[in-house]
Chains A and B, each alone.
Chain A
Amino acid sequence: MLDGLDVSVPTGTFAAVVGPSGCGKSTLTRLVAGLLKPDEGEVWLHGERVKGPRKTVGMAFQNPVLLEWRTILDNIILPLEIVAPRMPRKDCVDRAMELLEMVGLTGFEDKRPSELSGGMRQRASLCRSIVHKPDVLIMDEPFGALDAFTREDLWQTMRDLRRAEPFTAVLITHDLRESVYLGDQVIVLSGRPARTQYVMDIDLPEDRALDVLYTPPVADMLHILREQIKIAQGREEGGH
């Protein structure tokens, strides 16, 4: 599915990966997370080769996969119950509350996931994915199922989280605006088998506001990326 894919993400930066659907983006996330083993080649994280699942990874999916029988607070604490060293319950709660405040969910800690809206659930899911302070956060279209305005809210939340907590991030997305707004670099994958087709460094101010998406430089970036996607799609169709 992936072939000759060579991607490197500098520590502490945010990589957004875009590409035609079905090109193997989700496979990439599972490789980085150590859930899949590559047939050939290697995955390296922080100078260490990935051989299997590792505790220093956080994951978020399109589906928030919150556990219905746990409160929001207990959902966020879940990874802390797995990774060593175990923290005392009180520290876990403090850590979770701190994150809840950052994403604007204070007051919802005792609610069940079914009582929250889709956007709030995804916020809680993001909290869970970084509660154990992972080195790398892997996101597979986490905002894909949200409406446009909620999605933009979450982009801003994502930026706030990154400013507060340093982590390397890999974001799989279909949304070019999202990739430009959140990413330090945007990686365009070709159609199947996926190769790195194009890499764009995003040179926008660190504290960018959403308005930046409506400025001419960003419009140019989006245009270039769109052209690259078109090429990627063309290659895929030509391959059949």
Chain B
Amino acid sequence: MVRKIAVPILAIVVFLGLWEALVWVNDWPNYKMASPSDLPPAFWKYKELFLTMGWQTLWRTVAGLLLAVVFGTLLGMIIGFSRIARDALYPLLIGFNAIPKATLVPVISLIFIGQHDFNTVLMAFMISFFPIAVSVGIGLSTLEPEYRDILRALGASRMTIFLKIALPKTLPEFFGALKVAATLAFIGTNLVEIVSPHGRGLGALFKSGETNGDYPLMFAVLIALALLGIILYYAVVMLERYFAGWAERENS
């Protein structure tokens, strides 16, 4: 337990130390690269903004992610159970996923003018549902027929087979995808926050730091984003332990 906490903290301290040394050795000014020691004052100066903006970013990311979970799981069920749907939808999905989402920011901000919250959640959703849909789809379509047969031979309905076997069996893949999706959703949220004029959230704070030449603030925002990303990631890990802990092998 001590090792589990001490080792990552030590790694972070070493990382910050190297960063500080890099800036110090090169004698870089703040506008080239802020050093870790510049960050606490930046956080302190804008502490209220960090709290309100951080909250904005967090709730919109989580909202987008929840939508992605619901939609991605449903889509995964469709492509997992139906060959026709799989053949029809895969090219569309892959094509959609290949579009850089930054290019969609002006599109959605024109469609939903001024709906900043909605646009942000929508982008977080659009960028993160793909891995969930694909992994649920693969998990369901690769279910060995024997697993279905043991229940089907007893006259179980499709729904029973799905709930008792297919769904739990897909959970490890689902959580693997959810970890990827959680970090992607942050990228989506920040894209909109940074690009939208008069945006809110940490992305907007970053943008204002840039506009005002407050470089330590920009770096402080990046660190805050990293922190939120870590929190959300480990929240997913906790859920995974609870719902799919059985998939973890001990002593390996």
* A, B in one complex: yes
The smallest beta-carbon distance between B2 and chain A, in angstroms, is: 27
In the bound complex, how far is the Cα of B153 from the Cα of A61, in angstroms? 12
Q: Are B154 and A83 in contact, with the CB atoms below 8 A?
A: yes
A194 part of interface (Cβ distance < 8 Å): no
* Docked complex: B172-226 residues within 8 A CB-CB of A: none
In the bound complex, how far is the Cα of B160 from the Cα of A52, in angstroms? 17
Q: Which residue of B lies closest to A140 (CB)?
A: B146
Contact-residue size bin, chain B (C-beta under 8 Å from the other chain): 20 to 34
Q: Are B152 and A35 in contact, with the CB atoms below 8 A?
A: yes
Stretch at the interface among A15-23, A63-71, A170-178, A181-189: A63-71
Q: Are B153 and A34 in contact, with the CB atoms below 8 A?
A: yes
Q: DSSP majority for the B interface?
A: helix
Q: Are A82 and B160 in contact, with the CB atoms below 8 A?
A: yes
Given A53-B154, A81-B164, A82-B156: A65 in contact with B146 (beta carbons within 8 A) = yes
Q: Residue A65 contacts which of B144, B164, B168, B171 (CB distance < 8 angstroms)? A: B144
Residue from the set B147, B151, B153 with the largest chain A CB neighbour count within 10 Å: B153
Q: Which residue of A lies closest to B147 (CB)?
A: A65
The smallest beta-carbon distance between A168 and chain B, in angstroms, is: 15
Q: Which residue of A lies closest to B168 (CB)?
A: A69
Stretch at the interface among B64-72, B128-136, B231-239, B243-251: B243-251
Question: Could you mark each residue 118-154 of chain A with 1 if its beta carbon is under 8 Å from any beta carbon of chain B, else 0?
Answer: 0000000000100010000010000000000000000
Q: Residue A79 contacts which of B144, B154, B171 (CB distance < 8 angstroms)? A: B154
**CB-defined contacts of A96 to chain B, threshold 8 Å:** none
In the bound complex, how far is the Cα of B149 from the Cα of A78, in angstroms? 13
B150 part of interface (Cβ distance < 8 Å): yes
B155 part of interface (Cβ distance < 8 Å): yes
**CB-defined contacts of B53 to chain A, threshold 8 Å:** none
Q: Which residue of B lies closest to A30 (CB)?
A: B149
In the bound complex, how far is the Cα of B164 from the Cα of A136, in angstroms? 24
Q: Which residue of A lies closest to B154 (CB)?
A: A82
Q: Are A68 and B146 in contact, with the CB atoms below 8 A?
A: no
Residue from the set B144, B152, B160 with the largest chain A CB neighbour count within 10 Å: B152
B165 part of interface (Cβ distance < 8 Å): yes
**CB-defined contacts of A33 to chain B, threshold 8 Å:** 149, 153
Q: Are B149 and A68 in contact, with the CB atoms below 8 A?
A: no
A159 part of interface (Cβ distance < 8 Å): no
In the bound complex, how far is the Cα of B156 from the Cα of A79, in angstroms? 9
Q: Are A67 and B155 in contact, with the CB atoms below 8 A?
A: no
**CB-defined contacts of B149 to chain A, threshold 8 Å:** 30, 33, 35, 59, 61
A106 part of interface (Cβ distance < 8 Å): no
Q: Are A68 and B154 in contact, with the CB atoms below 8 A?
A: no
The smallest beta-carbon distance between B99 and chain A, in angstroms, is: 37
**CB-defined contacts of A208 to chain B, threshold 8 Å:** none
In the bound complex, how far is the Cα of B232 from the Cα of A143, in angstroms? 46
The smallest beta-carbon distance between B166 and chain A, in angstroms, is: 11
A11 part of interface (Cβ distance < 8 Å): no
**CB-defined contacts of A43 to chain B, threshold 8 Å:** none
In the bound complex, how far is the Cα of B249 from the Cα of A137, in angstroms? 33
Q: Are A59 and B155 in contact, with the CB atoms below 8 A?
A: no
A57 part of interface (Cβ distance < 8 Å): yes
In the bound complex, how far is the Cα of B247 from the Cα of A83, in angstroms? 28
The smallest beta-carbon distance between B159 and chain A, in angstroms, is: 12
Q: Which residue of B lies closest to A71 (CB)?
A: B246
**CB-defined contacts of B165 to chain A, threshold 8 Å:** 67
A55 part of interface (Cβ distance < 8 Å): yes
Residues on B facing A (Cβ under 8 Å)? 144, 146-147, 149-156, 160, 164-165, 168-169, 171, 244, 246-247, 249
CB-defined A-B contacts under 8 Å, sample of 23: A35-B149, A53-B154, A53-B155, A54-B155, A55-B154, A55-B155, A61-B149, A63-B144, A65-B146, A65-B147, A68-B246, A69-B168, A69-B169, A69-B171, A69-B244, A69-B246, A78-B151, A78-B164, A79-B150, A82-B154, A82-B155, A112-B246, A128-B150
Residues on A facing B (Cβ under 8 Å)? 30, 33-35, 52-55, 57-59, 61, 63, 65, 67-69, 78-79, 81-83, 112, 114, 128, 132, 138
Given pairs A82-B151, A82-B155, 14 additional interface contacts (CB within 8 A):
A52-B155, A53-B152, A53-B154, A54-B155, A57-B153, A58-B153, A59-B149, A61-B146, A65-B150, A69-B168, A69-B171, A78-B164, A83-B155, A128-B150
